[in-house]
Amino acid sequence: MLPMSAENDYADFPPLVMTFAASDPSGGSGMQADVLTLASMGCHPLTIVTALTVQDTAGVEEIHPVDDECVADQARALLLRAGPACATICADDATCPASRGSGASRANRSGDVAARS
């Protein structure tokens, strides 16, 4: 485990990347693929789950979106403490509240979170 500091729990981590995506239990896409990709690039992923899916490599059977408020709360908690360098947002409107203009974007528009550079 990496050391933590009193000011910022993530101060000594590699670059932080917040990623918004659905959970894909097959690991071929979504959150699981984002985590692998970001780690392979030397980044530390901060994950915001936008939906749970029932799927395999042949296709998606069910999508269970996470409530927009919960997505926003997840993002807000990490934005306030971690200060990610950047974020990725899934492109699938069916599984990602952030891509349809709620959840993640609301966390930053709320006025509670200042943009970080």
pLDDT digits (tens, 9 = 90+) for 52-109: 999 998 988 999 999 999 999 999 998 888 888 888 887 665 555 544 444 444 444 4
Phi, psi of 95 (to 5 degrees): -115, -5
Query: Tokens at residue 108, please?
Result: 């930053």
Residues 27, 82: Cα–Cα separation, whole Å:
26
Give me the residue label for tokens 């550079």: 117
Residues 44, 65: Cα–Cα separation, whole Å:
24
Q: How many residues does the chain have?
A: 117
In this prediction the pTM is 0.69
Query: Tokens at residue 110, please?
Result: 């709320």
